[in-house]
Structures are given as C-alpha cells and as structure tokens.
Chains A and B, each alone.
Chain A
Amino acid sequence: MNLKINLKINLKINQKIRNKMKRIQDFKVKNYRWLNDDNYILTLSTNSNIEKIEPGNFAELKVPDSPDVFLRRPISVLDVDYHTKTLDFYIKAIGKGTRKLGSLDIDSDLNIVYPLGNSFKILNNKKVLIVGGGSGIAPFILLASELIKKGCEVTFLIGARTKNDVFLTDEFSKFGNVLVTTEDGSMGEKGLVTRHSVFKGNFDFDFIYTCGPDPMMKAVAQIADEKNVSCEASLENMMACGIGACLCCVTPTVRGNECVCTEGPVFNSKDLKW
C-alpha cells in the first residue's frame, strides 16, 4: 500500500519535472467521432506516457502519406486522458491537411509534436465567461475542467452561423451554463456573440477567455476593455514549425512581434496590438 502511494507520488513529481518537455511521439488513430460532414473528433492513443497537457496547449500533427501537404498541422488539444493514454482533437475539415487527417485508417500511425505553446492563466474562485466560435472552441473543455477545479463558475458563450455549426455544447454543459448565438437565429439568440444579452445590463464576470476568428476575438477584447475585465485570447495564426524556430506565426504585441506558437497561443488582450 505504502509502496503504491510512493510510486504515485514519484510519478507526480516526475510529471512535474517533465512538465515543460516537448516531445515527438507516434500515436495510433483510435477513433473518429463525426459531428457533421466537416467536423470531427480524432482520438489518438499510445502505449507510452502522455506528456502533461495544459489548457490551451496544442500539437503539430504530421499528415501521413500526403505529399501535397508539406507542413504539420497545428491543432489544439481538446481533451486528454492520462489513464487510458488517449488524446482528443477537435478538427474542422477545411483544407487538404485537415481532410486527410479525417480519413486515416483506425490503428494507423500518426506522429505528433507536443505539448506546444503556453496555457491559459487560471485564477481561483472567479466568475468567468468563455467566448468562442468555429474551431476556437477546441481548448474549452480542458480550460473549463481546470477552472472548475479552481472553484471558478463557468459560463460559455458560443457563436455560430447556424444551429448546424454549433458543436460540443453537451460537453460544455457539464461544466457550466451554455449560451448560444447564431447569425440566422436558428439556435439561441440571433446575431453575433458580441451582441449577446449577457454583455448587457449587470455584467458581473471577473475574467473572459476567448478563442475563434480574429474579428470575434477583437470585438470580445474590446468589450472586456470597456467593462474593465481581464481577457485572454488564444490565437490561431498559420504556423510552420510550432516551436519558435521559423518566426512565421508572429502577432504584434506591446513587446514587439511575438510567436503565437511559443509566446502564445494565449495572450492577454491588453498586450495584443491587432
């Protein structure tokens, strides 16, 4: 019994020491869960240990047997299970690479470089609003589960064009209230996320997290600024290396151009000059 506890403690310590370590690792394609024709959750599994993933971290996925897809694809980690040794990615099939990633054989190899990027800042016992749209919703499960652990109260605000573009709300509702806006009004309130009634009247959130298309995040950051609430935005710039070597994915900040892959993807909105 004692030995077991010691082993557990050692494992925890090891994991902490190895926290910042980036790895290149072969996984197996374990499962696809298609949300509609273009959106899917890819589950990868491994026999070896999975590096610690922080909310906001991403991986660079190598698209196998696809000579016309030259670079890896940076994808946020949706969820991780260290016990079953699986990693989930929410992927929107929008190009050659993301389509190919959606058509691999079960049990085939997939090489990833991870965990990459920084993570969201998590404060204790806050009332937080998580605003997202498109593939930007990917980091929200890990973010919300960490926030709940720290005693935060979580509300999601998800924006989409139509009800057919709203995904993962069942998963989000396990962590908190889920608000939806659609541009055509087919689900939730009609209009853009930034026009949602949650921003009107008595706005009592302490912190806003946002991830999605740049115009949406900019608008959310502006509201946060007006309401004097801290806001973190997770950017989705095009990347090549993902590890801060090529300097392709930069965004202008108060400190100069910074790499979204290493100084980000999460930035305090006050630091961004976008």
Chain B
Amino acid sequence: MVDLGVNIAGLKLKNPVTTASGTFGFGEEFEDFIDLNRLGGIFVKGLTLKNREGNDYPRMAETPSGMLNAVGLQNKGIDYFINTIYPKIRKWDTEIFPNINGSIVEEYIEVAEKLNEVEGINAIELNISCPNVKEGGMAFGVSCPSAVAVTKAIRNVYSGTLIVKLSPNVTDITEIAKGVEGAGADAVSLINTLLGMAIDADTKKPILSTITGGLSGPAIKPIALRMVWQVYNAVKIPIVGIGGIMNATDAIEFMLAGSSAIQVGTANFIDPQISTKIIDGIEDYCKQHSIDNVSDLIGGMIV
C-alpha cells in the first residue's frame, strides 16, 4: 500500500495531483468523466472582486505541443463564487483552492478577506502572474517589490494556507520566490503561462484578440521543470509544480525536481480523465520502485 498523501505547509492532500486554475472550470465540468473525490485538490477558475467578461474572441491559438490562451480572467466575481458555486462544489472530498486576482492590491485584499470567512476553504492561490489582463495580474509578479507587497498585504488578512503563483516571465524566478517566502507565503506554485504570440501569415494579423497570450502545454515543460528545481534550491517553503504535465511520468519528474504537489492543466482539455489517470500512474510508479510514501519523491533527483 503506497501512501500517496502529501503536505503543503500543514495542509494535507490525499495525493499530489491537483488541477490547474483556468483549465478545470469549477470541477463540475468534469463530473461526467471522473470521480472528483479522488483528486488531491482543485484550483478553481481565477476569481476577481467583480464580474469580468474577459477578453474578446479569439482567445486561443494552437501551437506546436501546446496552446496560447488569452481568456483574461472571465468570471462572475467573488460573491457569486462564494454564494452560488462553492455551495455546489464543496460536497466533494477534495481540497478546493480559490485562485484570486486583482488589478490593484485593494481588490486582492477584499477577495482574500471574503474567502477568509468561508468555512471549508483552507487555502488560496494568490495569482500574481496572469499575463492576459491589462492591469495588475502579471505586473505584480514580475517585480520583486510588488510581489512582496501584495503577498504581505494578503498575509495580513488571510489566515489559511497562502500559495503564491509565480510568473516565469522574469529574469530570475528565485528572487521572486525568496521575496514572497519572506513576505509570508506558505507555498509557491509555478509556473504560470509563458508570454507568447501567434500570427496568421496569410492575413498578416495576430491570431489572439490581445496579440499576446499565455503559452501552456508540453512545450513549456522543460522550462517549468528547470524553474521548479531552481526554486526548490532557493526556498524552504513547498512548491506546487505546474507546466505541461501530460502524464504520470511528467508528474513524477516535477516531484523529483522539488514539487510537493503538482497541477495538471492543459492536459485536461485533451483528456478529461487525465488527472485521475495520473494518480493511478503515480501509484504504479511507487509500487514498481518500492516507494512507500510518495512524498519521498520530493526533490529526489539524483545529481
């Protein structure tokens, strides 16, 4: 019997497999395909203080081994989530992680304050790395002082587990990771999407309405793996690894690089059952390698 349980700064997950924000809706969208109770956790669609319509269509472009998106945080606002969505999804025996966003620090604070009062929510993911909004978003996550400032502000009002989602669109991700660790983050999740773009050569126009967007999928996996390993060597807080995880082997690689848990993202679009297949695959791997506790894999890369 393999113990698949992992611990994110005191928060226990039944296994290291969670789903990435923006790729799994609020979980309900996948109810027909998998038993959501099996997941370690669900990072739900990014939330803002008020309703947001997001960016104009087209918001998506297929790229080699991946895709660009420019959704722009379309959501109905934090109150709708708390009053209408959360009561429906809290029945699942899995950790629900709201992903919070803002264009100014005060908005982040207000969202975090509201979530701090919600019974059953034990953790939030502070998104300072969304590349698809004009104001705020990634701007907070690409400069160390602003990343530190917003993390401190949220730490002051949020008492649960605080996970800060980092942007890869920086010169040195370890500086930001160390900064938010010092500012009170309990964990970091990385990486968010890489800024990219696509052009239609025939029309000479950009494919995305926003011109640039966020690249995800297996194309970014080697970069994500490298950043997880760098951050693992730079901070003491746990890491949730994200970036092009398509199967159990990818997930194990992220754990070996230093992730305590992982998020499955774009792969959900191609196989709506992939998250539970990855749980099974990790268990099989542990059995084959005589590993009793999956957490023994964390940072286990042999150099």
Residues of A within 8 A of B (CB): 21-24, 62, 67-72, 113, 237-252, 256-257, 262
Q: How many A-B residue pairs have CB under 8 A?
A: 91
CB distance from A115 to the nearest CB of B (A): 11
Distance of B127 from chain A, by nearest CB (Å):
15
Residues of B within 8 A of A70 (CB): 62-67, 217, 270
Does A256 lie within 8 Å of B57, measured CB to CB?
no
Q: Which of B51-106 contact A (CB under 8 A)?
A: 51, 53-54, 56-60, 62-67, 69, 71, 74
- The total of chain B residues at the interface (CB under 8 A) is 33
Contact with A along B259-275 (1 / 0, CB 8 A): 00000000011111100
Q: Which among B32, B54, B270, B273 is the interface contact of A72 at CB below 8 angstroms?
A: B270
| CB neighbours of A238 from chain B (8 A) | 58, 60
The answer on a CB contact under 8 Å between A245 and B64 is no
Q: How far is the CB of B51 from chain A (nearest CB, A)?
A: 8
Q: Given A24-B273, A62-B270, A68-B64, does the pair A244, B25 have CB atoms closer than 8 Å?
A: yes
**Are B270 and A257 in touch, CB under 8 angstroms?**
no
Report yes or no: B24 in contact with A245, Cβ–Cβ below 8 A: yes
- B-to-A contact residues, CB < 8 Å: 22-25, 29-30, 32-33, 45, 51, 53-54, 56-60, 62-67, 69, 71, 74, 217, 268-273
Residues of B within 8 A of A256 (CB): 51, 53
Residues from chain B with a CB closer than 8 A to the CB of A22 are 32-33
Instruction: Among A24, A248, A250, A251, point to the contact of B271 (Cβ < 8 A).
Output: A24
Who on chain B is nearest to A257 by CB? B53
Known contacts A247-B59, A248-B59: A241-B74 contact under CB 8 Å: no
B33 and A250 contacting across the interface, CB-CB below 8 Å: no
User: How far apart are B88's CB and chain A's nearest CB, in angstroms?
Assistant: 14
Contact B269 A245 (CB under 8 A): yes
Which residues on the A side are within 8 Å of B273 (C-beta)? 24
Q: How far is the CB of A121 from chain B (nearest CB, A)?
A: 23
Contact partners of A248 in chain B: CB under 8 A: 58-60, 69, 71
